[in-house]
Amino acid sequence: MLAKQRGSPHSGGMDADAIRTSLEQLAERVGDPAPLVYRRLFETRPEVKALFVGDRTGAARGEMLAQTFEILIDLAEGGRGSSGMIGSELVNHEGLGVPPDAFASFFHVVADVVRDGLGPDWTPRVSAAWDALLARADERIQRQARASGLSISAR
């Protein structure tokens, strides 16, 4: 079980436990969420689907989603390591042809899939935790984009 970090001194008051629990509940309900996440991504950002043509087994998508979960949990716990990861991945993805706006939208796609997967268990507490987390992610992405000289639209 993932450790509880509700309102820890490092979380900036964010409810990291609600984030962790929601991700655990999603996995319990749907198994591997990667197909749902990438289906939603390709629906909302069809221009990136062609970039995955070489990922025939889904292994790259699975690894990217696992890394995204790690970043989200780190951000929820205060973001000590995630800023550097966001910066490097933003630049790496831009180099692969992923528009910075599409990169930034991925965290929101994940949140949408978690919300849909939780159904009635997407409570006001969970919603507030994800809203705060996404705001933090957006802020970090914007900051890293500026530092890297990339243009990105504000959400």
Which residue ranges form the domains of the chain, and what is each CATH number? 33-50+61-148 (1.10.490.10)
Tell me the pLDDT of the chain (155 aa) as tens digits.
333 334 443 445 569 999 999 999 999 999 999 999 999 999 999 988 988 888 888 888 899 999 999 999 999 998 777 767 787 888 788 777 787 888 889 999 999 999 999 999 999 999 999 999 999 988 888 888 888 787 776 55
- What pTM, to 2 d.p., does this model score? 0.85
The distance of Cα 14 from the centroid of its chain, to the nearest Å, equals 16
| Contact in structure between 62 and 120 (CB atoms under 8 Å) | no
Phi, psi dihedrals of residue 60, rounded to the nearest 5°: -65, -40
